A and B are shown apart, each in its own frame.
Chain A
Amino acid sequence: QKEVEQDPGPLSVPEGAIVSLNCTYSNSAFQYFMWYRQYSRKGPELLMYTYSSGNKEDGRFTAQVDKSSKYISLFIRDSQPSDSATYLCAMSPYNTDKLIFGTGTRLQVFP
């Protein structure tokens, strides 16, 4: 079993839809949780980061962490065609620098 599981998609939605992207994990020591956006042929871009449980909002993006369920989510409101990319979740324990990544979910937002 992988430490981090993420549905690879693709997820195809119409413009304006609310998108929900999710990851599950098995290591209860994970404390830091990040979401990256990666456009084709580009490096991953840090989108959101959270520590421990709770919600964090930044514009159209909301990150949620539920440590009791070992489940994290990224919500995108009013999705735009420019949001079409691969979204990667990543996480690490408290005292290490090693990030564990999901495989990424490919999102397509059509006009």
Chain B
Amino acid sequence: SAVISQKPSRDICQRGTSLTIQCQVDSQVTMMFWYRQQPGQSLTLIATANQGSEATYESGFVIDKFPISRPNLTFSTLTVSNMSPEDSSIYLCSERTGPDTQYFGPGTRLTVL
């Protein structure tokens, strides 16, 4: 199985600020994914990050709010911009090594005051 790490593991931020979450995987992968997990709700895909191209965002998520970088095959960042309390959530990065196997990082627990 894949080993995925995220930084920070948790943070408390003020409204209007931005936070960048880092994700590191232990092997080179083409596609990485960013998900959001809100209390009592399903994991929701924010965007797919391919190395060397612009991220692809799901409906309801935009690049200005959630800019993503993918500088190489083992690393990605997600920024949550101009935060509001509604952005309080767990943010998870993920990699898919095959059509039927997808692994997740431990998550970043974000609280916006």
| Residues of A that sit less than 8 Å from B by CB | 2, 4, 8, 32-34, 36, 41-46, 49-51, 88, 90, 92, 94, 97-104
Q: Which chain B residues border A100 with CB–CB below 8 Å?
A: 42
Q: Which chain B residues border A42 with CB–CB below 8 Å?
A: 106-107
Q: What are the nearest 7 A-B pairs in CB distance?
A: A43-B104, A101-B42, A49-B100, A101-B43, A43-B106, A32-B100, A44-B104
Known: A43-B92, A44-B92, A102-B42. A49 touches B31 (CB 8 A): no
Cβ of B15 to closest chain A Cβ, rounded Å: 24
Nearest B residue (CB) for A8: B40
Cβ of A53 to closest chain B Cβ, rounded Å: 14
Q: Which chain A residues border B100 with CB–CB below 8 Å?
A: 32-34, 49-51
Q: Is chain B's binding surface mostly helix, strand, loop or mixed?
A: strand
Does the CB pair B42–A4 fall under 8 Å? yes
15 cross-chain CB contacts under 8 A: A4-B42, A42-B107, A43-B104, A43-B106, A46-B1, A51-B100, A88-B43, A90-B43, A92-B99, A97-B96, A98-B58, A99-B43, A99-B45, A101-B42, A104-B42
Q: Mark B17-48, 1 if CB is under 8 A from A, else 0.
A: 00000000000000101000000111111001
The count of chain B contact residues (Cβ–Cβ below 8 Å) is 24
Asked whether B14 is an interface residue with its Cβ less than 8 Å from the other chain, the reply is: no
Cβ of B50 to closest chain A Cβ, rounded Å: 10
Does the CB pair A97–B33 fall under 8 Å? yes
Partner among B4, B45, B103 whose Cβ is within 8 Å of the Cβ of A98: B45
